[in-house]
A = this chain, B = another copy of it.
Amino acid sequence: MVSSLRLHSLTSLFSSPSLLRPPLLLCRAHRHKLSSPPPRTAAFSSQTASASTTENPKKQTNQDQKVITPRSQDFNAWYLDIIANAELADYGPVRGTMVIRPYGYAIWEAIQDYLNVKFKETGHSNMYFPQFIPYSFIEKEASHVEGFSPELALVTIGGGKELEEKLVVRPTSETIVNHMFTQWIHSYRDLPLMVNQWANVTRWEMRTKPFVRTLEFLWQEGHTAHANPEEAENEALQMIDVYTKFAYEQAAIPVITGRKSKVETFAGADRTYTIEAMMGDRKALQAGTSHNLGQNFSRAFGTQFMDENGERQHVWQTSWAVSTRFVGGIIMTHGDDSGLMLPPKIAPIQVVIVPIWKKEDEKSGVLNAASSVKEALQSAGIKVKLDDTDQKTPGWKFNFWEMKGVPLRIEIGPRDVSSGSVVISRRDVPGKQGKVFGISMEPAILEAYIKDKLDEIQSSLLGRAISFRDSNIVDVSSYDELKEAISLGKWARGPWSASDADEQRVKEETGASIRCFPFEQPQGTKTCLMTGKPAEEVAIFAKSY
């Protein structure tokens, strides 16, 4: 219910500056393609998208709808077109910054709502650390400063005066967290200390891309301290597992979970666990990480406790994060040429109702029926939107809501009102195949049908993504095979026990890096693809964002 209220005001954002025009009744068989995609050019639109021609130009086409660049033609342009046209985000005035618009933010809220509950269930409390960190803190942990110093934004003036010590705008909070932990942790009884914060962070990135890599982004960062290394390791594993479940069950993204190579480990961590997602262009997206920090920060900051034997020890720590990058991952996993495609469990709107009428005397009957359907679904906990504006044609609305990725569409026309039934279309199955006629309007029947369909779509999106992923991972046993797989745009999986220098060489020569040593390992003895020496694990290599 809340969602639908939230989205109420979006309607005003959607309405376009074009003049009022009389609604058209479109023959159900064709109307789908009569008008073409979204409303107006926005900052992210690629050049190709600004052309005003459509695939299927007809008189009835609304002039304000733009085409999305086909995904196969230019993946990056397609991505930017979706973000602009679905009104997910816009560029901010400072280079590399991003404004997250209501529809994009609602997806982030769905991510937050799920994870926030899971974090609390696993014993973490939310809190808030200041974002300004004394510059000297960053220098305390050697590899941390090396990793982050090129990316820092520094405050040097405050209240009109030059500051004595420069302040870092947090790129991550391990340092300030440890500074505070030293004040709160005294004995083993103060452990484990398990907290999380939802916050903005700043990294001065040179090459930015909306959601995927921006100068400022939103995330959650969990920070924990433990009395022994086993507990810290279990915590790091527990949290990567929470992320994995979220990816599979909510975002329908079949990530591959594993451990980062030493080269790719977080600056200051002993071990980094990661979830790696395959995007529609087969590049990898690191979608979440969980770090076992060992005693690196606790030694640098002196975060100690008295153990049960009365001896002082440094705490063992973890940190873990998921960010607004995940929204980019959802777009690039499920979207197609018609636009965004959202998994029902994180869709801000799960069902859109489009009423259709030709004559003025049909209007009220159709709208009444549409309202009743809306209320019935809403009270069943389904996130539903009734698009009852008469400024747009039904065909325009079909394309618009498809472009916004709404999983299900209900169409209600005069004949449907007479027969007490509706027509239902699936976003994930195009054309007639995804369309079912004559579903009863009777609330109990319709609700059950819709819930069932939403579940089906959720599974179907995951299934499709799994097939795509699996058909694009190649098992390799030599460097040549690896190079070939990468050159075909695929992921290469092969046994690896070579050096950091070899790993670096692969990156330079192929553009692919080790995404992870996956938790799921094949059976049997393994021989390193590079050195021919025994290997304990396979690694996955891919080009990445």
Residues of A within 8 A of B (CB): 2, 5-10, 12-13, 15-17, 40, 42-43, 90, 92-94, 97-102, 104-106, 108-109, 117, 120-121, 123-134, 137, 149-160, 166-167, 169, 176, 179-180, 183-184, 186-187, 189-195, 199-200, 202, 204, 206, 215-216, 218, 306, 391
Q: Contact: B120 with A102, CB < 8 Å?
A: no
| Between-chain CB contacts (< 8 Å), 24 pairs | A2-B120, A5-B120, A5-B121, A5-B123, A8-B120, A12-B193, A12-B194, A15-B189, A94-B130, A94-B132, A94-B167, A100-B127, A102-B126, A105-B126, A108-B128, A132-B216, A153-B167, A154-B156, A154-B158, A155-B156, A155-B169, A156-B156, A169-B169, A199-B200
Residue of B nearest to A40 (CB): B186
Contact pick for A100, options B40, B123, B128, CB 8 Å: B128
A185 CB to nearest B CB, Å: 9
Q: Which residues of B have CB within 8 Å of A218? A: 128
Q: Which residues of B have CB within 8 Å of A137? A: 93
Q: Contact: B9 with A130, CB < 8 Å?
A: no
Q: Contact: B126 with A189, CB < 8 Å?
A: no
Q: Contact: B159 with A204, CB < 8 Å?
A: yes
Q: Contact: B13 with A98, CB < 8 Å?
A: no
Q: Contact: A306 with B17, CB < 8 Å?
A: yes
Copies in the complex: 2
Q: Contact: B125 with A17, CB < 8 Å?
A: no
Known: A130-B94, A183-B90. A157 touches B150 (CB 8 A): no
Overall SS of chain A's interface: mixed
Residue of B nearest to A348 (CB): B125
Residue of B nearest to A160 (CB): B150
Residue of B nearest to A186 (CB): B17
Q: Contact: A158 with B204, CB < 8 Å?
A: yes
The listed residue with most B CB atoms (<10 A of its CB), out of A7, A101, A125, is A125
CA distance A129 to B218 in the complex (A): 11
CA distance A149 to B157 in the complex (A): 12
Q: Which residues of B have CB within 8 Å of A191? A: 12
Q: Contact: A102 with B15, CB < 8 Å?
A: no
Q: Contact: A190 with B17, CB < 8 Å?
A: yes
Q: Contact: B17 with A102, CB < 8 Å?
A: no
A300 CB to nearest B CB, Å: 14
Q: Which residues of B have CB within 8 Å of A100? A: 127-128
Give me 11 other A-B pairs in contact (C-beta within 8 A), A6-B124, A16-B187 excluded.
Answer: A5-B120, A6-B126, A9-B195, A12-B193, A13-B190, A15-B190, A100-B127, A130-B216, A131-B216, A156-B156, A199-B200
Q: Which residues of B have CB within 8 Å of A204? A: 158-160
Q: Which residues of B have CB within 8 Å of A149? A: 160
Q: Contact: A94 with B17, CB < 8 Å?
A: no
Q: Contact: B130 with A97, CB < 8 Å?
A: yes
Q: Contact: A97 with B17, CB < 8 Å?
A: no
CA distance A490 to B291 in the complex (A): 55
The listed residue with most B CB atoms (<10 A of its CB), out of A6, A13, A109, A130, is A130
Q: Contact: A215 with B132, CB < 8 Å?
A: yes
The listed residue with most B CB atoms (<10 A of its CB), out of A6, A94, A124, is A94
